[in-house]
Amino acid sequence: MSNNQIRQHNGKPQQRMNVMTKPIGPACNIDCTYCYYLSKQQLLNYDKGCKPTMNPEMLDRYIRTYIEQQNFPEIVFHWQGGEPTLLGVKFFREVVKLQKKYCPPGVIIENDLQTNGILLDDEWGKFLAKNNFLVGISIDGPEMIHNTYRTNRAGRGTFKQTMKGVDILHKYNINFATLTCVNNVSGAEPLAVYRFLRDVIRSPQMQFIPIVEAKSFRDTAPQRWDDAEMLFQGMPEAEPDHPDSIMEAWCVSAGQWGDFLCTIFDEWLNEDIGKVNVPYFEAAIEAWMGRVNPLCTLGPMCGKGLAIEANGDVFACDHYVYPDFKLGNINESDLQDMQFSEKQQAFGYAKESTLPDQCRQCDYQFACFGECPKNRLLKTHTGQKGLNYLCAGWNKFFRHIDPYITLVVNTMGHKVYKKINRQAMQLKLK
């Protein structure tokens, strides 16, 4: 097929959509210190302590339009929170019923569900297995690490409860992935975290999320920061452990992030390549082959995944659920119109168009693209704003893996794509 041909489904151009669905808004049964979503309760004006729930009419409309507005052989629903399992199995039985009702012939509908695992029991296990849900389970590492920030409202760690959820996933042979937040504590223990996920949890896919939040994150959207308060890269106040830091104390530092990824990469390369799936490493291979990075954070564009709240409000991205970035409400506007609106397109293209020169001249722009704009908290040494807080860590990681990924890609028989010419390196796996 030529590059100019548009892929077809049922004789029409293919049309896809991805929406992170928050059927219970930010409501959660625990109270993780670093959660970026709990504070949406105030920001979105939900009543204090209420559990906003997508009502039956809204759920019906959402499922119908999400299916109708896509023309693709596979439609994926993403259920997140807050904690979506608070809605009970009954709610998700209704979800599956509605999906069957509106599913066109020849289309497969899939579901993924992100959970802290605490409420998973045999009833959930049977339901998730029967309906082939992919479950993302949040676990930060061994007990001491997990319990540092993943606590209940009484401040007690939730490790044991989450492990019961993991047991249910194994018992019912449910397809799952782990989601591990990398903070100032877990960031210092890369091998303990990785080996725990590999050997104890037996995680089929390890997603690592760097925790990066400026102190102002609860009410100020990224890119709405005061320029005058933006720090230069390398300033001590950008380190989370500085007494006057602009960052929350629980954040991973850029240096930790680089070391975390490099250390895990070395173990993965020596022991587990081909056996353990770490999306960052798989994505690097794609990037080095010149393909579009499958991870939005490291790709050239934002805006392909919207977020919908329990009341039907739609936002530019799960990380931009702020009033400024609201696109509309499904009671009043089409999802598709919102996805392709000028506002959303501008949001999408800004990821690349607002890169500072330091990124444009970087050896690894093709693999990084300035990472997620929500983390672009710093100024470059020349005073341009919009440099990623994790830049030093990402740069270290890309430089570290470059010779190995080059070798892996060459071994696969592909030509390595890079935007620069550099001296040949000693390519030798340890």
What is the set of active-site residues?
A: 318
Contacts of 408 (CB under 8 A, 6+ apart): 273, 285
Q: What is the C-alpha separation between 373 and 389, in angstroms, rounded?
A: 10
Q: What is the C-alpha separation between 380 and 195, in angstroms, rounded?
A: 36
- Is the Cβ of residue 158 or residue 233 nearer to ligand SF4 in the bound state? 233
| Torsion 122-127-130-134 (CA) sign | negative
Q: What is the C-alpha separation between 176 and 228, in angstroms, rounded?
A: 44
- Is the Cβ of residue 240 or residue 373 nearer to ligand SF4 in the bound state? 373
- Give the residue among 267, 307, 261 at the shortest CA–CA distance from 284: 261
Site for ligand SF4 (CB under 6 A): how many residues? 23
Report, in angstroms and rounded to the nearest whole number, the Rg of the chain calculated over CA atoms.
Answer: 22
Q: How far is the CB of 75 from ligand SF4 (least distance, A)?
A: 20
Q: How far is the CB of 392 from ligand SF4 (least distance, A)?
A: 7
Q: How far is the CB of 29 from ligand SF4 (least distance, A)?
A: 25
- Is the Cβ of residue 171 or residue 224 nearer to ligand SF4 in the bound state? 224
Q: How far is the CB of 180 from ligand SF4 (least distance, A)?
A: 17
- Is the Cβ of residue 150 or residue 319 nearer to ligand SF4 in the bound state? 319
Q: Which of residues 300-359 bind ligand SF4 (CB under 6 A)?
A: 302, 305, 317, 319-320, 351, 358-359
316, 327 contact by CB (below 8 A) = yes
Q: How far is the CB of 374 from ligand SF4 (least distance, A)?
A: 5
Q: Which of residues 365-384 bind ligand SF4 (CB under 6 A)?
A: 365, 368, 370-374
Cβ-in-10-Å burial (0-12, 13-18, 19+) of 210 comes to buried
Half-sphere exposure for 220 (CA within 13 Å, toward CB): 13
- Is the Cβ of residue 26 or residue 258 nearer to ligand SF4 in the bound state? 258
List the x/- string, 71-90, binding to ligand SF4 by CB under 6 A.
--------------------
- Is the Cβ of residue 131 or residue 223 nearer to ligand SF4 in the bound state? 223
If DSSP codes are grouped into helix, strand and coil, which group holds residue 35? coil
396 touching ligand SF4, by CB under 6 A: no
216 CB neighbour count, 10 Å cutoff? 16
By residue count, the chain amounts to 430
341, 315 contact by CB (below 8 A) = no
Q: How far is the CB of 162 from ligand SF4 (least distance, A)?
A: 24
**List 395, 404, 405, 409, residue binding ligand SF4 (CB under 6 A):** 395
If DSSP codes are grouped into helix, strand and coil, which group holds residue 106? coil
Binding residues for ligand SF4, rule: CB under 6 A, are: 296-297, 302, 305, 317, 319-320, 351, 358-359, 362, 364-365, 368, 370-374, 388, 391, 394-395
